[in-house]
Structure 1
Amino acid sequence: MDLLISAYDIVVGYLVPFLFVLTIVVFFHELGHFLVARWCGVKVNVFSVGFGRELFGWNDRAGTRWRLSLIPLGGYVKFAGDENAASVPDRDHLAAMSEEDRAGAFVTKSVGQRAAVVAAGPIANFILAIFIFSAIFLSFGKVITTPLVDTVQPGSAAEAGGLLSGDLILSVNGDEIEAFSDLQRVVSISADVPLDLAVERDGKVVDLSVTPKLREFRDNFGNVQRIGLLGVSRSPDAEDMKVKTYGPVEAVVAGTQETWFIAARTLSYIGGVLTGREAADQLGGPIRVAQVSGQVATQGLMPLFSLAAVLSVSIGLINLMPVPMLDGGHLIYYLAEAARGKPLSEKVQDIGFRIGLAIVLLLMVFATWNDVLHLTNL
């Protein structure tokens, strides 16, 4: 009985939220490729959510096979004239095609059209994130707590930087601070990085420099977090808290800013890993995503959609990495083709795809290993 309960908890508590989040993100990524490909006159043979054996599917009027496949860890669109889902051209098949069929093949399109089709996937991810965040801001607004310092912890970065109780934070590095949460977000990603603060104190503007300290702690779900901390608390007074409402245009602007912040934070972390400034143990794979999805699902549907938006930004950025097999690798090939006036040789492209496949597999293994270590440390 306990085993049945555990299996039920895993499926309902983790697998269902994970598939919900991942399917939304993957579907919109592939939909971006699909729509621009159709617009450019490319025939799409397959639109698949998932890999492996088809579970069920149907054909549309244009001949595209829409399918849901067994392994729900991604998806792909396969264009006419392609050998596989990575858009590697099938030269033998192309040679045997009629002129009419060749006109609808992906490889026969101009370099600009091919680049547009490839870039459309990651762009769709960013648009999805903006849409979700905008809808949340429009529907629920945003809780704004005045960025007023209530207490300063002894021995903290804030004390070392000269912050005092009663200071009103106006800006950080020249960017206006509207809410205490805005300050927290900037500080959390700025451990050991000096920040220039402008604060209002006794009616005057005072300029300070503070350097957040790196702190490691476990959140309510037991996940290890490493963030920068100043060591200040916000005002507890009710009059310092309000709900900001947004109109449609304001919501889109806020949603775009939220998407930009997540993209910048992700790129900053990746850069930190490459330079050794950040630990790579925060890189996670499907197991971590499933775990986080289950944890977030306990807080409601809106946080789960927020997670989908965050994951959508991450997948968009990952796909833009200049690695063959990923969208960014294809764009590098097309850039080289545009500069040379002709495509790279088949041999060079094949070597690139093999190297790209090896890199992607190594990253998957590394991320999965991180996931296992994370689970064993909970």
Structure 2
Amino acid sequence: MNLSTNLLLIIPAFLVAIGVLVTVHEFGHFWVARKLGVKVLRFSIGFGKPLWRRVSKDADKVEYVVAALPFGGYVKMLDERECEEGCEVAAHEVHRAFNRQKLWKRAAIVVAGPVANFLLAMVIYALVFMIGQNAMRPYVDVTQDSPAALAGLQSGDQVTAINGVETTSWEDMRMLLVEEYLKSPQLAINVTTQDGVSQQRTLDLQSVAMFDDEAGALDKIGLKSWLPPYDVVVETVVPNSPAAGAGLQAQDKVLSIDALKPTGARGFVEYIRAHPDQPVVLTVDRAGAMQSISVTPQISAGQSVATIGAALAPPPPDLRDKVYFTESYGLVDSLWRGAAKTWQMSALTLKLMGRMLTGEVSLKNVSGPVTIAQFAGVSAAYGLTYYLGFLAVVSVSLGVLNLLPVPMLDGGHLLYYLVEWVKGSPVSAETEAVGFRLGMVIIGGLMVLALYNDFTRLLN
């Protein structure tokens, strides 16, 4: 896809994601507040100038608003502390003011937003498990001289368990590797070799800085997904591309690239990407006759990697059946797995945030709206289940982030309530004001860092 096509997908995918996540979060606050008898004045999705406004017909006259800036939202409740100068809460409604509620009610209203995000993630994950998603079995391709190779893992091994926990898919294995690494850098890896022999390997990651930059954890370990070797066959050639100009044709079987035999499409593509503006020689079999073709990979406008303009045929069906499968479950099992996946993602997010404070996880991993928008577009391009999975991940992140004990966030209010519970009285207005300013500095700093990382990625 070119840049304009990408934007046509990225922008709506991002806006839908933000709209759903913010609405669910704020609805959590709204629903619990109403159930506990607190009067809600306004439910707003977004900030700034209202684009759409509606007032409910009930006695409370709740104002529902969709505003111009979509990055957040709020629920405004009746509160004597927020009453503008000269105004006064009517005597018959004082009991419905937020500040007059018991401590547990205020805490319940505040925590309801993040809880709503966790519940949304659980439902989404369960839905994905019920619909079914294409998955890869955890066969590994091992990079030479990597920690995985030193542990004795070999290309074609299927990882069956990590530290005794069973793995069924590549995604399971990827998540479990990170999760278990955070517990201990020495991992017991159970594999089944290509000969069908079950073995155990010890993967020592003590000297591996897993999160000191943006490189993926599996790249640091030396693991990629594996496919059995198969013939690389050209399926189509893009007109006016380097491949077309060099004379490459559909149905050509690539026997070698610069005298190296490709074992599959991925190796061929990686070699092409590694040689921008450098001629490479392809030896192809065309209807039984050998041909030698020189083609120069180029980085086209709107692209970030070198290509030659040729699409390759997919792996043969029998090979795909061995490696790929549809992961789907029944209702009860899906709900259980959805809850377990949400818990796993929440705990992992929190642990990585903690390691970020100690410096083990690089601040380069902090992402902002630009990166999130890109992921929204990419996941939407892959299909519904991938987009739903993206929504679940961001929903978990939003829930965890809002529970951090930072003033301005829900977790900051919960921290105030904890202090109030211990000392028997609310924190002073002066303390709240100082906390507000501190929260502004922390949130503002994170936003600047996230945007800096976003634009650095774009420039690179």
Contact 1:141–1:246 (8 Å) recurs in 2: no
Distance 2:84 2:49 in 1: 25
Question: Residue 172 of structure 2 aligns with which residue?
Answer: 182
State how far apart, in whole Å, the 2-side matches of 1:180 and 1:369 are.
32
Q: Which of 344, 366, 373 is residue 449 of structure 2 equivalent to?
A: 366
**Once the two structures are superposed, what CA deviation does each residue of 1:179-205 show, in whole Å capped at 9, x if it has no partner?**
343223333564993212244679987
SS of the residue corresponding to residue 360 of structure 1 reads: helix
Q: 1:302: how far off?
A: 2.9
Change (3 A) 1:94 1:9: farther
Question: Is the Cα–Cα contact under 8 Å of residues 162 and 177 in structure 2 kept in the other structure?
Answer: no
Structure 2 CA distance for partners of 1:57 and 1:185, relative to 1, 3 Å? same
Deviation at 1:23, TM superposition (A): 0.4
193, 204, 211: which is aligned to 1:211?
Answer: 204
The corresponding residue for 1:73 is 71
Quick one: structure 1 residues 256 and 93, their matched pair in 2 at CA, closer, same or farther if it must change by over 3 Å? farther
**In 2, are the aligned partners of 1:29 and 1:122 still within 8 Å (CA)?**
yes
The residue number in structure 1 matching 2:415 is 332
Percent identity reads 34
**Residue of structure 1 equivalent to 2:62:** 64
Tell whether the 8 Å contact from 1:187 to 1:230 is kept in structure 2 after alignment.
no
Q: Which residue of 2 aligns with 1:282?
A: 365
Q: How does 1:160-171 map to 2 (within 5 A)?
A: 160-164=150-154, 169-171=159-161
Distance 2:39 2:199 in 1: 62
1:120 is the counterpart of 2:203:
no
Counterpart of 2:306? none
Rg (Cα) greater in structure = 2
Name the CA distance, whole Å, in 2 between partners of 1:106 and 1:175.
46
Please name the residue that 2:31 is paired with.
35
Q: 1:308 aligns with which of 391, 400, 403?
A: 391
Task: Out of 62-71 and 109-118, give the one that drifted further.
Answer: 62-71
- Cα RMSD, aligned residues only: 3.0
Question: What 5-or-longer segments of structure 1 have no aligned partner?
Answer: 83-88, 219-223
Question: Are the aligned partners of 2:83 and 2:89 in contact in 1 as well (CA < 8 Å)?
Answer: no
CA contact (8 A) 1:56 1:68 kept: yes
TM-score (ref. length: structure 2)? 0.70
Q: 2:10 aligns with which of 6, 9, 14?
A: 14
> In the TM superposition, what is the alpha-carbon distance from 1:235 to its structure 2 partner?
6.3
2:78 is aligned with what amino acid? A
Asked if residue 96 in structure 1 is aligned to residue 179 in structure 2, the reply is no
- For 1:298 and 1:142, the matched residues in 2 are separated by 15
Does the aligned pair in 2 maintain the 1:106–1:114 contact within 8 Å?
yes
Deviation at 1:349, TM superposition (A): 1.6
State the shift of 1:167 in Å: 5.5
Q: 1:152 to 1:294 in 2, by over 3 A?
A: closer
For 1:252 and 1:258, locate their aligned partners in 2 and report how far apart those are by CA, in whole Å.
10
Paired position in structure 2 for 1:86: none
Q: Kindly indicate whether the alpha-carbon contact (under 8 Å) linking 1:131 and 1:252 is maintained by their aligned counterparts in 2.
A: yes
Shift of 1:169: 3.5
Instruction: Report the CA distance between 1:98 and its aligned residue.
Output: 2.7
Structure 2 Cα separation of the partners of residues 56 and 215 of structure 1: 47
Change (3 A) 1:353 1:152: closer
| C-alpha separation in 2, matches of 1:165 and 1:141 | 25
Q: Distance in 2 between matches of 1:54 and 1:129?
A: 29
CA gap of 1:127–1:55, structure 2 versus 1, over 3 A, is same
**Residue type of the alignment partner of 1:313:** V
- Post-superposition CA distance 1:8-44 (Å, at most 9, x none): 6575232211111110000000000000000110111
1:366–1:348 Cα change, 3 Å: same
> Which residue is equivalent to 1:221?
none
CA distance in structure 2 between the partners assigned to 1:184 and 1:297 by the alignment:
22
Q: Distance in 2 between matches of 1:341 and 1:284?
A: 40
1:136 to 103, 115, 128: 128
Q: Judging changes above 3 Å, is the alpha-carbon distance between structure 1 residues 193 and 250 closer, same or farther for their aligned structure 2 residues? A: same
Output the CA distance in 2 between the equivalents of 1:143 and 1:298.
Answer: 17
Question: TM-score when scaled to structure 1?
Answer: 0.85
Mark the CA change 1:233 to 1:142 in structure 2 (over 3 Å): closer, same or farther: closer
In 2 relative to 1, CA 283–169 (structure 1 residues): closer, same or farther, beyond 3 Å? same
Shift of 1:95: 8.2
For residues 409 and 172 of structure 2, what CA distance do their matches in structure 1 show? Answer: 34
* Distance change in 2, residues 1:340/1:138 (3 Å): same
Asked if structure 2 preserves the Cα contact closer than 8 Å seen for 1:21 and 1:304, the reply is no
Q: Paired residue for 1:249?
A: 332
State the SS of the aligned residue for 2:382: coil
2:163 to 173, 177, 190: 173
Q: Could you tell me which amino acid in structure 1 is paired with residue 67 of structure 2?
A: S
Q: How many residues align?
A: 358
TM superposition shift of 1:55: 0.9
How far off is 1:109 after superposition? 0.4
Distance (Å, rounded) in 1 between the aligned partners of 2:209 and 2:344: 20
State the alpha-carbon separation in 2 of the partners of residues 9 and 200 from structure 1: 43
Q: Is the 8 A contact 1:81 1:93 kept in 2?
A: no
